[in-house]
Structure 1
Amino acid sequence: MVGTGDYPGCMLASLLAERLGLPAPPPRAVVRLSHKYYSRILQRGLVPEATPDFVSLSPYASKPQLGRLGYPVFIKPVKGTMSIRARRVDNVHEFREGVRFSLLELVRKHLILRPYQHLLQRYTDGEVPAWHFIGETPLSGVQVTVDGFMERGRAVVMGVVDSVMYPGTISFQRFEYPSHLPARVLERMREVAVRLMEGSGFDQACFNIEMFYDEVHDRVSIIEVNPRMSYQFADLYERVIGMNTYEAQLALAVGEPVPWNAGAARVGVAASFVMRRFIDGRVTRVPSAQEIARVKERFEGVVVQVLCAPGERLSDHVQDVGSYRYAIVNVDAPTREELFARYTEVEQLLPFGFT
């Protein structure tokens, strides 16, 4: 059983596989790792040097109980997606703004998370419900994603992808492989990932761990753990080293040895670029099939995924905080300079229109 989506995909796959006796990570491990507070508890026990201070926060409290954290604090839902509601807050007023939901939003949130709440009551102490928040010491630095898999209790790191934000935001601009961080830093990240995952109880599936490297303090910190593969990155690995991460995930799902044998690099670098606007708008035009075909003729292997359609508002789709995705472009090149030049040309050849 395979699930590449965090919720409910990988949890449902884990539960069904357990019932059917198929290879898959234990539900207890998946539930705990995907809950940002209980995941931090695991991290604090296994890799304390890479775990920031944290505290659980009720969105219904008139005043957050921050304990020793104090302001500023970074808050996010314990079960969230795409950085929605994740933000830094500097005072009580900003905290209340950050956790304020309309009645309709509250009803939807509780209905959507009700099955997950049942799993929390089964596999944890249940003291931090699925609709609560976590507060953490703010982190900074170079952000990356460490991709790997667990096979019969052994962790293997497949690679590290740089996760680059639009300047001054927490919205992803691109995901670039391989990472440009120094080899010694990448080795520390691999060691942290292996120690954490081998002690977590997770097994027989891919995982990815988002991390920061703070060069000023020479510190590696975990942002969060995702008990699933990074499906957006599978194409990047195949372009650069000739191995697709789906190959690893599918082998694990059927109980076969993982054929992960990264050979010599086929190209120098690959990236998945996220095209965004920072104001909402109605879509008036998207590239035609013929226009996309011309881009692919110009640059062999380019992947273009259009995320909107004429007549829609960008906000009709689930979006990050403060920005609106409308397309994803995957491209590779011999060098980083050529990579950016190719993407710039691709962007110019893809006509989008917004009011």
Structure 2
Amino acid sequence: MKKSALSAALAGGASAPAPVAPAQNKGTFLDPAAFPCIEYADVIDGVKTADELGATAEQLGNLDIADVAIVGSAPTNVLLNGVPLADYPLNPRRRRAGEETTPDVAASLEMNVDAVNSRTRDGRSLRRQVLKGAVMVFVTAGYSGKRFIFEKAKELGLRTVVLDGPDSWVRLLEKDGIIEKFVPIDFTDVDTVFDRCLQAIKDVRSTIGELDGITTFCEMAVPLASRLAEKLGLPCNTPEAVDNARDKHATREIMARAGLPTPKHYKVVSEADVAKAAAHVGFPAVIKPISGAASIGVIRANNEEDLLKAFRKVQHDMSRARIVAGALVEGDDEGSDAAGNAGGWIHLELMVEEYLDGHEVDCDLIFDNGRPVYGAITDNWPTVEPYFNETGSNCPSVLPKAHQIELLELSVRAVQSLGFKLGVFHVECKYTSRGARLIEVNCRMGGGPVRDTNLLVWGVDLVEEHLMACAGIPVRPPVARRPLKQMAEYTINAQKTGHLKSVDFLDRYKGQEGVLYARPLVQPGAKCNCVADGLPTWLCELMVIRPDVRQAIAVIKKMEQEINDELETLIV
């Protein structure tokens, strides 16, 4: 078989294994070069000053905000010749380049394996040379707010092919030259979609050239992408690992067998299981689908009566859930959305587990050859219960160093216990009254502000590193020793039900120093719900940077109060 330019470039030697982390004074196996937040926690705790940590990583240089496209969650324009293309709704609960060698020259280079594996700017530049010209297939594109992923792939010189629905907004990317080819695929027929995607990829290979990777940044498409990559012998995590991560009950069972702390849990197949689950788990408890996304169908229950009501509601919600562009979204009670189409993609089984108290965090990880090569914590702010609607976050974390170590170690061991080897993972945890506990492992990059956060604070672009991993290139991101920026972000949930008259209340923040964005997520006239009437509506999103993370948190909280005061008269 003819080698791609990428494969030829790497033929000079086998990929070196990820370096084994040196032993740490406090007993952690985590490499401080890969987990900078651990050392910086000493600054947060007042044990050290930032200057004692040294430079912010000379290899990174200075990060100029003007050079960074801050994305957030807002959708982009999806008009083609004045006609709107199909876009997909934002998840109702969770959102979270040097001159380079041309591909034909890169293909002839005998790569220095040590240089390719180095955690330096030169090493990254060499890896980018190898990546340039690679052919990458994306299985679904997600909603239009993910345009930045494809723009980054274009910037890196990838030749991108996207499989998505026939009326997808991705047609606009093809017209603009951002992607090389759009291949329309009907994903609604679950029984035949694998064979049709496989044939489409083979057709692409015959016209564009040998493939270097298959990937997706969409939750529901990860199982399909892993199976396609495995079938074609391309870098991937095993379908078994993906399936076990997406099955929350299986995740709990695997972690328990691995000796990792695991909340009490009980699978609920029918209404008759509710009482048994209540007796085993106790209260407060959380009921959730064993596979799903965006917290759809996740509800807190404080007693058995609440649990039974929640069981019936979740069953109803999941029966209406729909798969759209690789994402799970809720249908309506009326019209075409009344009957969902997600049954072939998810298990319509539920699980009851202990409610976890304490502070919630995101642990964003990058793996290479089964070892972690980057990890950082973002603090999540309290959600809107009982629906667990997200609110805000900050980075770097302000949790004590010992807590951060425990959370990161649990996240790494959870990913390893599931059998994952490569790529980006978004792991959700809580530091509870009994220590670190896992919520779930997402075998993909997080959504919303997650990419922005890691890039701004630690200089690591999760999109770039995941594309490297999926192409079989060693992943060793240069990481700042201390935060390049310190940030907080917030999404305003509607405090009352009604219609939003205007979004002009955000105008006051335009151009304010340190405000990266303050933008609406709904249009004037939109119907808004507060938590008393169901799932709260996200109204707008905010992100600020300040010299100190606590200052950023204070600014965001002040903005939140100002906006909520004004919304009292704007929602009628």
TM-score, structure 1 length as denominator? 0.82
The amino acid across from 1:325 in the alignment is W
User: Is 1:271 aligned to residue 271 of structure 2?
Assistant: no
1:94 to 2:306 alignment: yes
Inter-partner Cα distance in structure 2 for 1:342 and 1:69? 40
Shift of 1:206: 0.9
SS of alignment partner, residue 115 of structure 1 = coil
Q: Secondary structure at the match of 1:225?
A: strand
Aligned residue for 1:192? 410
For 2:304, the aligned partner's letter is V
Per-residue deviation, 1:343:
2.9
* CA distance in 1: counterparts of 2:275 and 2:510, whole angstroms: 52
Deviation at 1:194, TM superposition (A): 2.1
Contact map agreement 2:458 2:479 (CA 8 A) in 1: yes
* Structure 1 residue aligned with 2:423: 205
Which of 225, 241, 247 does residue 13 from structure 1 map onto? 225
Query: Does residue 228 of structure 1 match 2:228?
Result: no
8 A contact 1:58–1:64 mirrored in 2: no
1:313 corresponding residue in structure 2: 527
Paired with 1:161 and 1:252, the residues of 2 have a C-alpha distance of: 23
Counterpart of 1:124 in structure 2 is none
1:328-350 superposed Cα distances (whole Å, 9 cap, x missing partner): 22221111343135435655589
Indicate yes or no: 2:267 matched with 1:51: no
- Matched residue, 1:127: none
Larger radius of gyration: 2
The structural deviation recorded for 1:250 is: 1.7
In the alignment, what sits opposite 1:339?
552
> What does the per-residue CA deviation read over 1:277-326, in whole Å, with 9 as the maximum and x for residues that have no partner?
143322222249xx65x7452235603453211232235xxxx9642212
Could you tell me whether the CA contact under 8 Å between 2:265 and 2:352 is conserved in 1?
yes
Q: 1: CA distance between counterparts of 2:464 and 2:403?
A: 27
Q: Which consecutive aligned stretches of 4+ in structure 1 deviate over 6 angstroms post-superposition?
A: 349-352
**CA shift in 2, pair 1:349/1:140, >3 Å:** closer
Distance across 1 between alignment mates of 2:383 and 2:319 = 33
| CA offsets 1:130-185 (integer angstroms, 9 cap, x no match) | 11211112211111111102212223342011111158764332111111111122
Which deviates the most, 185-194 or 345-354?
345-354
Q: Does the CA-based 8 Å contact 1:47-1:196 persist in structure 2?
A: no
Distance 1:160-1:47 versus aligned 2 partners, 3 A rule: farther
**When you count strand as a share of all residues, which structure comes out higher?**
1
Offset of 1:103 from its aligned partner?
9.3
Counterpart residue number, 1:3: 216
- The match for 1:178 is 396
Q: Does the 8 Å CA contact 1:145/1:162 hold for their aligned counterparts?
A: yes
Cα deviation for residue 70 of structure 1 reads 3.5
Instruction: Tell me the amino acid that sits aligned with residue 4 of structure 1.
Output: F
Task: Note the C-alpha offset of 1:61.
Answer: 2.9
Q: Give the letter for the 2:342 counterpart.
A: L
Specify the code of the residue in structure 2 equivalent to 1:224: E
Of 285, 296, 299, which residue of structure 1 is paired with 2:502?
285
**8 A Cα contact 1:174 1:273, kept in partner:** yes
Residues 142-153 of structure 1 mapped to structure 2, 5 A cutoff: 142-153=359-370
TM-score (norm 2): 0.53
Question: Is the 8 Å Cα contact of residues 141 and 213 (structure 1) preserved in structure 2?
Answer: yes
Distance 1:103 1:142 in 2: 29
Q: Distance in 1 between matches of 2:557 and 2:550?
A: 11
| 1:29/1:22 CA distance change after superposition, 3 Å | same
Equivalences for 1:73-88 in 2 at 5 Å?
Answer: 73-88=285-300
Q: Which one-letter code corresponds to 2:266 in the other structure?
A: V
Other-structure match for 2:33: none
1:154 aligns with 2:371: yes
Q: What is the number of equivalent residue pairs in this alignment? A: 333
Q: CA RMSD in A?
A: 3.1
What's the CA shift string for 1:14-35, capped at 9, x where partnerless? Answer: 2332233322222221111011
Change in Cα spacing, 1:87 to 1:185, as seen in structure 2 (3 Å) is same
Q: Secondary structure at the match of 1:65?
A: helix
Matching residue's letter, 1:156: V
Query: Could you say what secondary structure the match of 2:379 adopts?
Result: strand
Alignment-derived partner of residue 458 in structure 2: 241
2:227 is aligned with what amino acid? L
Specify the code of the residue in structure 2 equivalent to 1:19. Answer: K
Give ranges in structure 2 of 5+ residues lacking alignment: 1-213, 322-338
Structure 1 alignment gaps of length 5 or more: 118-129
Structure 1 residue 115 displacement after superposition: 2.6
Aligned partner (choices 344, 357, 361) of residue 140 of structure 1: 357
8 A Cα contact 2:315 2:348, kept in partner: no
| 8 A contact 2:266–2:280 mirrored in 1 | no
Contact 1:157 1:190 in 2 (8 A): no
Percent same amino acid among aligned pairs? 23
Say if 1:33 and 1:102 are closer, same or farther in 2 by CA, change over 3 A: closer
Contact residue 396 and residue 549 of structure 2 kept, 8 A: no
1:162–1:180 contact (8 Å) kept in structure 2: yes
